[in-house]
Structure 1
Amino acid sequence: MKRLLPLLVLAGCSGAQTPLDPWGVQAERIATLTHVLFWGGTAVFLITMGFLALAILAPARLREAMGSRRFVIGGGIVFPVTVLTALLAYSLGISRALTQPMSDAPLRIEIIGRQYWWEIRYPDLGKGAVTANALHLPLGREVELHLTSADVIHSVWVPNLHGKLDMIPGRVNRQRLRADRLGELRGQCTEFCGAQHTLMAFDVVVQEPGEFEAWIARQRAPVPEPRTEEHRRGRQVFGEAGCGACHAVRGTPWSARIAPDLSRIGSRATLAGGALPNNRGNLAGWIAAPQDIKPGNAMPAYARALEGPDLLALASWLDSLR
């Protein structure tokens, strides 16, 4: 057990959601600040404990010297003021560096927080570039996130890329970042926003520029026509059940903006704001009983409205939208 403890501690220093494994320059600055404050605080603590030990264990002459006016002023006023001022100046320098742009033309990405999911738009890349709960980033290119909320205060945080920033209704906050490593990360809401705050996550995918452009092109393109009878039935059920009153599917008559855009839902890694892995079975379960999975969300249950074959056909068609 003693051998496992250090391994468990080190495991928290890397992974898809940790500020101690930076994937970009902003996160590196924050990680450096964390280390400086931690080790600086540790040094001050050890020095203080050393003086405490001397005050208790040292000979009487030394204790008398430690009680002198000069020692008290130097150790009790000059030392802490100097150390804290230096740490404050360093922290302010890092904070300023985090706000400095790295390019004149960053890619603009709009993220809207909703109870309890994320709407993500790429307005610089075309009107149809809209997705949900999946933030795709081009490797090595600076992006500017435009953050707002449609209902209550949320807060977005991708620990490996940057710090937290609130999303406030009626206001747009901006955050610039750059991902310098390929792979997948996890972001989440860090401001309590209701009953399902803990189930409000999103996937972050960092791609080569060419792969990112291809992904954007698929997002903008109309969904393909159903190729099987089951998929045709699923699309028909989607319309008959009224799903299009809330959801959009590009290339179809349904273009609502109340709920997540489902145009390429089959390509997403998770469902319901990170609550479930995305597959046909979980899609069917979510459609049938979303309140059992994520109580308090705005999705109505369809367990009684849809028969089993229709439910599976609908889930199969949605799963095919890649």
Structure 2
Amino acid sequence: MAPSAAWMAGLMAAHRDARGAPLDYFLHAGGPAAEPSMHLGWALTALSMSVVAIIALLLVIAITRRRRVPADARLAQGETVALRWIYAGTGISSVALIAALVYTLVTLDSVAAPSRAPALTLTVTAYDWWWKVEYAQADDAPAFSTANEIHIPVGAPVKIVLKSADVIHAFWVPQLAGKTQTIPGQINEQWIQADAPGVYRGQCSQFCGAQHAHMAFEVIAQDATAFDAWRRAQARPAMRVTTDALAAHGEQLFQARCAGCHTIRGTDANGAQAPDLTHLDSRGLIAAGALTNTPGHQLDWIRNAQRIKPDSLMPGIVLTSGEASALSAYLATLH
């Protein structure tokens, strides 16, 4: 039975994401792939609540109704009335369920594919517990990858190719599309489209382990000019540190302690087990949405990853105050 929409809205409004925004985003549609599913959800919620209300009303009537029938005739009359209610209830339930089935199938068909060819194709791979986003080569930009942040042009359908590197996850951007699972060894596809510029929160909705709740991402819809500029900037390698001695020391620390897992394009860091950090400072969130991307949170994550996300593959790294300052100076160049 679906829970009350009002109850769910109240529950989500009491919680906020890492940016401080209320988590009621799933109540609103922001694109053509999400709107039919949103209407279906409201319709099924209304149907479920109607069933609850009818059953409650019949129960109250049965409890409070006074019977004035003699005891010897009560059994026969009760059987007749009960059969009538059973027939009526079965008939009405069958019609309602068939109508819900037809509506669901029509909705699934309407969101199966966009009305025009996708303007962009992205490959998103789910990991425990973060998202790798790969952009294919374009005319004016080479291929590159980023993490936990998907940029798309406004008003254009975008095809999402979904993979999993470990267990079953589910890719879900409530305002832009329904849920699609990522399954090891299998490729699934989905499409999204944003009708207006903005930031749309996504979340893994398939329980995938200890940090399932901390596996979020953001879809940032931009006008075509801003998106093209972002894409060209992301495709460039990281700026080489040459004049800042503190940042140069921080780069050495990164190469010694972090390069085995992380990649920074343009340097010797080419690890493949963790997010690409080439343009780390251009992102709004880190740790798959667990923290806002500030210098203080970056160092907190590096030092205390297992406190923030226990059982994640990111280890806590012990740093002296000098090492922390140097590493923070280097990370600040990754914009």
Q: CA deviation at 1:74?
A: 5.0
Structure 2: 5+ residue stretches without partners: 1-5, 15-20
Partner of 2:251: 235
CA RMSD of aligned residues (A): 2.8
Is the CA contact (8 Å cut-off) linking 2:34 and 2:178 kept in structure 1?
Answer: yes
Whole-Å separation in 1 of the counterparts to 2:306 and 2:56: 54
CA distance in 2, matches of 1:11, 1:169: 31
How has the CA–CA distance of structure 1 residues 244 and 35 changed in structure 2, closer, same or farther, with 3 Å as cutoff? Answer: same
Is 44-53 or 133-142 further displaced after alignment?
Answer: 44-53
What's the secondary structure of 1:320's corresponding residue? Answer: coil
**CA deviation after TM superposition for structure 1 residue 242, in Å:** 3.8
Deviations 1:129-165 (A, max 9, x none): 2101111121111011111111111112111111221
Contact 2:133–2:149 under 8 Å retained in 1: yes
Residue 234 to residue 176, structure 1, CA distance change in 2 (3 Å): same
SS of structure 1 residue aligned to 2:25: coil
Q: How many residue pairs align between the two structures?
A: 313
Kindly indicate whether residue 26 of structure 2 is the aligned counterpart of residue 19 of structure 1: yes
In the alignment, does 2:135 pair up with 1:128? no
1:30 aligned residue: 37
One-letter code aligned to 1:229: A
Bigger mean CA deviation after superposition, 143-152 or 199-208: 199-208
> Which residue does 1:87 correspond to in 2?
100
Comparing 170-179 and 293-302, the one that deviates more: 293-302
Question: Structure 2 counterpart of 1:177, which letter?
Answer: I
Contact 2:246 2:329 in 1 (8 A): yes
Residues 69, 106 of structure 1: alpha-carbon distance in 2 compared, 3 angstrom cutoff: same
Alpha-carbon spacing, 1:92–1:233, altered in 2? closer, same or farther (3 Å): same
Say whether residues 1:9 and 2:24 are aligned partners: no
Q: What residue number does 2:48 align with?
A: 41
Cα distance change on mapping 1:272 and 1:123 into 2, 3 Å = same
Distance 1:66 1:49 in 2: 21
Q: Percent identity?
A: 34
Give the letter for the 1:99 counterpart.
A
- Which secondary structure does the structure 1 equivalent of 2:267 belong to? coil
2:307 match: secondary structure: helix
Q: Is residue 57 from structure 1 mapped to residue 65 from structure 2 by the alignment?
A: yes
Instruction: Return the offset for 1:17.
Output: 5.1
How big is the shift at 1:253? 2.5
Distance 1:33 1:223, change over 3 A: same
**Aligned residue for 2:3?**
none
How big is the shift at 1:106? 3.9
1:295-306 aligned at under 5 Å gives the runs 295-303=310-318, 306=319
| Letter aligned with residue 154 of structure 1 | H
Shift of residue 252 of structure 1? 1.7
**Cα offset, 1:85, TM superposition:** 0.9
After TM superposition, list the pairs within 5 Å mapping 1:200-239 onto structure 2: 200-226=215-241, 228-239=244-255
Q: Does 1:310 align with 2:323?
A: yes
Stretch deviating more after TM superposition (209-218 or 181-190) = 181-190
Matches within 5 A, 1:171-182: 171-182=186-197
SS at match of 2:181: strand
Aligned residue in 2 for 1:96? 109
Moved more, 244-253 or 12-21: 12-21
1:91 positional shift: 1.2
Unaligned runs of 5+ in 1: none
